[in-house]
Amino acid sequence: MIKAEGLGKTYDGVKWALRNIDLSVNRGKVVTLLGPNGAGKTTLVRILTTELEPTTGKLTILGEDALRNPERVRPRIASIPQEAKPIYFVTPYELVFSYLVFRGFSINDAKVEARRALEELDLWNVRNKIMNNLSGGYKRRALVAMALASNAELVFMDEPTTGLDVFSRRSVWDALARLKGNSTVILTTHYIEEAEFLSDEVFIMNNGVVVSRGTVSELLNKVNGEYVVEVYGISKPIFEGYSYVKLNNRYLVYVDTSEDSSLIASECARMGGKALMRRKTLEDVVIRLIGGWYEDESSGDLDSD
């Protein structure tokens, strides 16, 4: 469905926004790109949607050479760019319906699919309101409805749920989950629980490269330790022999047993600090693999990948 080899992009001929990305995505999968600001997620999505030419590499999409024949790929994909905004004077219904007609749906099919998508995203009751009079979350959902209604083989969504409240976000998740198996979805997000809920595979990116990839459970296994102890209020690390990361004002220490956690907690208390123990999450894995997104000191030994 998507096969990329050695994709790279430099915008200014000096700095590489993306370096040597190899990617293969199978039909019907949901793949999530996770990573800090500037990691290269949007650049990669823009290349995969044929909006941007890579500086290096090869790209096959839906069996077509996407760099030579982008016009053969474009009608078969649907994409919601990060900065997309619907035209302010149309209604959600007009937006979705006209998009489908432009894509070649019959009037009748466009009506049926527009209604289905708008209902799925809880927009049916505002279908006839002018976009300008709707809140940002409704506008964003109307764009998502457009892509979902298209039934495109390949759907790209760059941060589809940014700015949505928890209820709206869940309705987008449910709609995307229902797409699974039929459409292939490439998603970028900063919400790690979104990646956990939806993804068949997660790509963790940083500084223009894919740092690690796998299913959520594979990624959880790539970083040692079943538990994480969050430590606050100590001036220097006291975790010799443990794997840890400094993140702003706290350390995350990756440990295997609750006994280890208790040891760290009591040592920490002795030094006037505080410690909280919990099970390791995908967020802890992302932080560990990237080395602390906002880290200002070196971290402890990184477990081999």
Interacting residues with ligand ATP (CB under 6 A)? 11, 17, 35, 37-43
| Nearer to ligand ATP (CB atom), residue 33 or residue 247 | 33
| Nearer to ligand ATP (CB atom), residue 35 or residue 57 | 35
| Shortest spacing between CB 42 and ligand ATP, in angstroms | 3
| Shortest spacing between CB 154 and ligand ATP, in angstroms | 19
Q: What's the rounded Cα separation, in Å, for the pair 147 and 170?
A: 17
Q: CB–CB of 210/270 below 8 Å?
A: no
| Nearer to ligand ATP (CB atom), residue 35 or residue 273 | 35
DSSP string, 286-301: HHHHHT-TT--S--SP
| Nearer to ligand ATP (CB atom), residue 197 or residue 293 | 293
CA distances from 56 to 8, 35, 74, 189, 205 (A): 5, 22, 20, 25, 18
| Nearer to ligand ATP (CB atom), residue 102 or residue 294 | 294
Dihedral (CA of 85, 87, 89, 95) sign? negative
- How buried is 111 (Cβ within 10 angstroms: 0-12 exposed, 13-18 middle, 19+ buried)? middle
Cα–Cα nearest to 92, from 55, 136, 52, 139: 139
| Shortest spacing between CB 197 and ligand ATP, in angstroms | 19
| Shortest spacing between CB 244 and ligand ATP, in angstroms | 25
| Shortest spacing between CB 123 and ligand ATP, in angstroms | 25
- What is the maximum alpha-carbon separation in the chain? 72
